[in-house]
Amino acid sequence: MSAAALTGAGISVGSGIADFRSPGGVWTVFAPDEYATLDVFLRHPAKAWQLYREIGKSLIGKKPNCAHEVLADLETSGLLKGLVTQNVDNLHQAAGSRNVLEIHGDHQHLQCLKCGQVTPVAEEHYLMSAVPSCGRCSYPYKPNVVLFGEPVRHFDCIEELLAGCDLLLVIGTSAGVYPAAGLPALVKDRGGLVYEFNREPALAAGGCGRPPLVDFFFRGDLAETLPMFGRAVLGR
């Protein structure tokens, strides 16, 4: 069996990173349509950077947890071909995963939309009060993340990955944001299986004559359910 994974904010909660949409998350303080659109960045970069600083500071010092490590182990064993993540925290790579497709970009680099310069981010960028600017052309830097109004990343590679898999692990995501939310149905339509790992069911039950999207649901804390699944699959 060839497997892939789709991960969301829930997998990083165990690392101390709050879900953006949960009570107290950044979206409750910074409304996405007021701070997280491409238009806002282009017109008011200082305002947009209020949000970027908050997210960046929340990632400082964070480490992968056992759920990230299970996916890295599954990839090393050859059972997991790759993963698609909606997260921008780089924790999958820190855990050892190699084939990681970051559909919403990452918070580890800054990009200049004027000259194309890309540079690694430093803690000081998120701690300084001024808007960081490009060393080449002085245009305001933007974190290398996908803002509302920008296309998602790597979608051709994602479709190629899923076309070759017959099992999709959906982990820690509410599956409410497209196009990532449509990936489980893409696998099901090709005859594959979908296993969901969440505290509560999130995926749609099918409808309109379609079979349920989820073939098996693992309810509970990802720090417990995913390692249990990994031990069973890897025979440890």
Taking only the tens of pLDDT, the chain with its 236 residues reads: 799 999 999 999 999 998 877 777 788 889 999 999 999 999 999 999 999 999 999 999 999 999 999 999 999 999 999 999 999 999 999 999 999 999 999 999 999 999 999 999 999 999 899 999 999 999 999 999 999 989 889 999 999 999 989 999 999 997 777 788 889 989 999 999 999 999 888 875 444 444 578 999 999 999 999 999 999 999 87
Whether 211 and 44 have beta carbons less than 8 Å apart is answered as no
Task: Exactly one of 44, 68, 104, 109 is catalytic; name it.
Answer: 104
Helices (H), 17-147: 26-29, 32-35, 38-43, 45-59, 66-76, 91-95, 123-127
User: What burial class does residue 153 get, using C-beta atoms within 10 Å of its C-beta: 0-12 exposed, 13-18 middle, 19+ buried?
Assistant: middle
Nearest to 5 by CA among 95, 107, 97: 97
DSSP-derived secondary structure for 172-211: S----STTGGGHHHHHHHTT-EEEEEESS--S---BTTBP
CATH topology of domain 1-17+63-104+151-236: Rossmann fold (3.40.50)
* 104 labelled catalytic: yes
In sequence order, what are the residues at sequence separation of 6 or more whose Cβ sits closer than 8 angstroms to the Cβ of residue 59?
Answer: 17, 89, 90, 107
Domain borders along the chain are 1-17+63-104+151-236, 19-61+108-145
* Assigned architecture for domain 19-61+108-145: 2-Layer Sandwich (3.30)
Beta bridge partners of 111: 118, 142
| 142-145 β-sheet, strand order | 118-120, 105-111, 142-145
| Token pair 């995501």: residue | 173
Nearest to 19 by CA among 131, 221, 11: 11
Cβ atoms within 10 Å, residue 20? 19
The reported pTM is 0.91
Structure tokens at 178: 């497209």
DSSP state of 222: H
DSSP state of 128: -
